[in-house]
Amino acid sequence: MRKLRLVGVVALFLLICVGLYSCMDNGYKSQIKQKVERVGGKIIDIDYNNDFEDDPFGWLEHGKNIHIYSFRYLNSDGEITTGWVKFSLINRWIMDYGLRSDFNE
């Protein structure tokens, strides 16, 4: 009976963790969408990036509780542009990776 109770507690804990992660991921994607729409763009796709070699932030900016997303959007000029955002204590945005026009928020 104790093992069954322990399994239930562990399963509940895992379910809560997955739910929290899902809420965070959806919140981050929502922030990206809002930011792109504020600058006159339209989101094409958003990807969570866990490959530290591809992002423009460099390996020094990686650590615990840092989430990096890449996104493609149609900018106000009608061009498809790649952007990056690092969510952490201080969020860092790079809206046009080719131009490296980054700003903090």
Q: Could you state, in order of their start, the residue ranges of all structural domains in the chain? A: 2-104
Confidence of residue 51 (pLDDT cuts 50, 70, 90): low
- Residue range 85-89: average pLDDT? 79
Identify the burial level of 17 via C-beta atoms within 10 angstroms of its C-beta, where 0-12 means exposed, 13-18 middle and 19 or more buried. Answer: exposed
- Residue range 9-17: average pLDDT? 85
Each residue of 17-47: pLDDT tens digit? 878 777 778 888 998 999 888 888 899 999 8
Mean pLDDT computed over every residue of the chain: 77
Confidence of residue 100 (pLDDT cuts 50, 70, 90): very low
81: closest CA among 19, 35, 18, 26? 35
- Residue range 1-19: average pLDDT? 83
pTM of structure: 0.69
